Structure 1
Amino acid sequence: MKLYEQGQEILAKQQFNHAFAAFQKELPVVKKSKTASFPTSKGGTMSYSYASMDDVVQAVQPVLHKVGLSYWFEQLQEQVQTQKEFELQPGITETRPVTVTVITITCHLGHVSGHSISNTVSGPMDSSGKKNPIQQMSSAVTYLRRIALVGILGVACTDEDVDGYSPDIPEPTVQASTHYTDEDFQRNLPTWRDLIENRKSNADEIITLINSKAPATPKQVKQLKAIKAIKQEVH
């Protein structure tokens, strides 16, 4: 019986690998059909294009079903203690302990044979804008599900137009002053590199994150896009 079960597991993995290879052969490119824009603190306007969860699902689901693959999500929410800097007055900050809500999403990709693999991503609630707590959670869950699904499938997202920002500031010197600082970029680069290499995120998503704080410089964008994901074998 044990040998039989081992044989069935091996067969299921082989069928999964065959189906995943067939999916990759017809791997669709997801269009970034959505656009977001918002004013910056310097008086300009930042905009970027992105692929929504609906865009990803619409592109991949027909191919997944065709080869016998399907996906599902698990969600975990927990309170985590961390440190946060508060500005008491210009130039003077204080670090205080705070409790943040961290949401963890696991995306499972399974085959009709019974074999499956998974990809897990975590992140805080989305506190941008004027969202209430339920909206903050919903926004974060949607974002994390998209990252987890794109990561496990290895799907590429491309622009309908040009990705990035379009600052509404005529003076070049003012525009340059709004860029994401090199100091912050170099401090966060090791973490971003790890996320990209381990397929937990991709360069476009990190650039979007940077742009939500301040526009990334062309050099920073080029450096992030040069990081390649480590090839992972499907077992």
Structure 2
Amino acid sequence: MTSALRHRRSSAGSRLTELRRAPTITPLSLLSSALDRGADEHVLSQLIGLHERSRGEEARRSFEAALAAAKAELPVIAKTQIASIGSKHYRHEDLAEIARTIGPGLARHGLAYRFRSNSEDEKVTIVCVISHRDGHSEENSLSAAADHTGEKNAIQAIGSTLTYLQRMTLKAALGLAAADDDDGKAAGAGETITRQQTRELLALIDDVGGEREALLRFFKINAFTELPARRFRQALVMLNARKGRV
């Protein structure tokens, strides 16, 4: 090896070592340097804004990574609760069961959830907030009119919609899947809504000015008498939500 080649390699190695030792430049280090130099208020304000945006972006990336990791571990939610609409029965997942199932997995990745609610003119709104320990949070919301089906009083009607929207917003925020167990499949398989439920549904459609054909296409049925009993509540919530907007 020639002396010139050894010298070039030595110089390259020295530069690489210097680069490795060089401090990483971050918005915070720039701000610190500006303070040491006595920078004016305008410069400091810009650097503070840059620092806050940088921290926000880091928190967002941490949130997304934690959420992806948690979702990969969360199991399918079992539908353990039985509800009745007239003579029909169906199974659904309970909010407490969802909490027991997902709580440990979310906590392991620094995630938590909470709800905000509002009720005005019998319209219930639920906001589900998913937050991460690094500070980033995201939210989604749903609104629907109070559920007056059955013989509920005013408080029960609001409470029914409240818990339903909590489950729906939480499932949507986390991308949760729910699956019937064998009993649930047996209870709901093949059953359709009653004549009284059909009349109630058609009256509500007319009341809110809904498009019957659009709903038939949505539920993939040819007539409302073919609507599965387990989807009756979903239809009511959809129509009541529209009623709350008209």
Fold match by TM threshold 0.5: yes
How much identity, in percent, do the aligned residues show?
30
Matches of 1:5 and 1:156, distance apart in 2: 36
The aligned runs of 1:82-93 (5 Å cut-off) are none
- Residue of structure 2 aligned with 1:111, choices 109, 115, 132: 132
Give yes or no for contact 1:46–1:166 (8 Å, CA) kept in 2: no
SS of 1:54's equivalent?
A: helix
Q: Aligned residue for 1:228?
A: none
- Say if 1:113 and 1:206 are closer, same or farther in 2 by CA, change over 3 A: farther
The answer for the alignment partner of 1:53 in structure 2 is: 95
* Residues 34/166 of structure 1: CA separation in 2 closer, same or farther (3 Å cut): farther
Give the partner amino acid of 1:17.
E
Structure 2: tracts of 5 or more residues without a match:
1-47, 203-210, 221-227, 238-246
Find the counterpart in structure 2 of residue 19 from structure 1. Answer: 66
Q: Give distance in 1, aligned partners of 2:53 and 2:105.
A: 29
1:209 equivalent to 2:233? Answer: yes
User: Which residue identity lines up with residue 213 of structure 2 in the other structure?
Assistant: Q
In structure 2, what is the equivalent of residue 227 of structure 1? Answer: none
Provide the C-alpha distance between the structure 1 equivalents of 2:145 and 2:194, rounded to a whole number of angstroms. 28
Q: Deviations over 1:146-182 (max 9, x none)?
A: 1111110100000112062565xxxxxxx8985969x
Equivalent residues of 2:139, 2:173 under 8 A apart:
yes
For 2:177, the aligned partner's letter is A
- The one-letter code of the counterpart of 1:57 is A
Distance (Å, rounded) in 2 between the aligned partners of 1:23 and 1:36 = 30
More strand by share: 1
Which residue type is aligned with residue 65 of structure 2? Answer: H
- Which whole-Å CA distance do the structure 2 matches of 1:176 and 1:123 have between them? 22
Q: Report which of the two has the higher share of helix.
A: 2
| Structure 1: segments with no counterpart, 5+ residues | 40-44, 80-100, 168-174, 194-203, 214-235
Q: Partner of 1:128 in structure 2?
A: 149
Distance in 2 separating the partners of 1:150 and 1:176 = 26
- Counterpart for residue 223 of structure 2: none
For these two proteins, the number of residue pairs brought into alignment is: 169
SS in 2 for 1:120: strand
Paired residues for 1:117-156 under 5 Å: 117-156=138-177
Asked if the contact 1:164–1:211 (Cα under 8 Å) also holds between the matched residues in 2, the reply is no
TM-score after normalising by structure 1:
0.62
Q: What SS class does the counterpart of residue 188 from structure 2 fall into?
A: coil
User: Larger Rg: 1 or 2?
Assistant: 2
**What SS does structure 1 have at the residue aligned with 2:106?**
helix
Counterpart in 2 of 1:9? Answer: 56
TM (normalized to structure 2)? 0.60
Q: Aligned partners of 1:111, 1:17: CA distance in 2, in Å?
A: 9
Q: Aligned match of 1:76 in 118, 124, 147?
A: 118
Report the Cα distance in structure 1 between the residues aligned to 2:172 and 2:75, rounded to whole angstroms: 14
Contact 2:77 2:101 (C-alpha < 8 Å) held by counterparts: yes
Report the RMSD for the aligned CA atoms in angstroms.
3.3
**SS at structure 2 position matched to 1:142:** helix
Moved over 6 A (4+): 190-193
User: Would the alpha carbon gap of residues 51 and 4 (structure 1) be closer, same or farther in structure 2, given more than 3 Å must change?
Assistant: same
Q: Tell me if structure 2 keeps the 8 A contact 1:68–1:111.
A: yes
In 2 relative to 1, CA 19–120 (structure 1 residues): closer, same or farther, beyond 3 Å?
same
The one-letter amino acid of 1:207's match is: R
Deviation digits for residues 92-124 of structure 1 (CA, Å, limit 9, x no counterpart): xxxxxxxxx111101010000110111100111
| 2:90–2:229 CA contact under 8 A, matched in 1 | no
Alpha-carbon distance between aligned partners in 2 of 1:46 and 1:185, rounded to the nearest angstrom:
23
Instruction: Provide closer, same or farther for how the CA distance between residues 132 and 160 of structure 1 changes in structure 2, counting only shifts above 3 A.
Output: same
CA contact (8 A) 1:165 1:211 kept: no
Name the residue aligned to 2:39: none
- Are the equivalent residues in 2 in contact too, given 1:71–1:107 (CA < 8 A)? yes
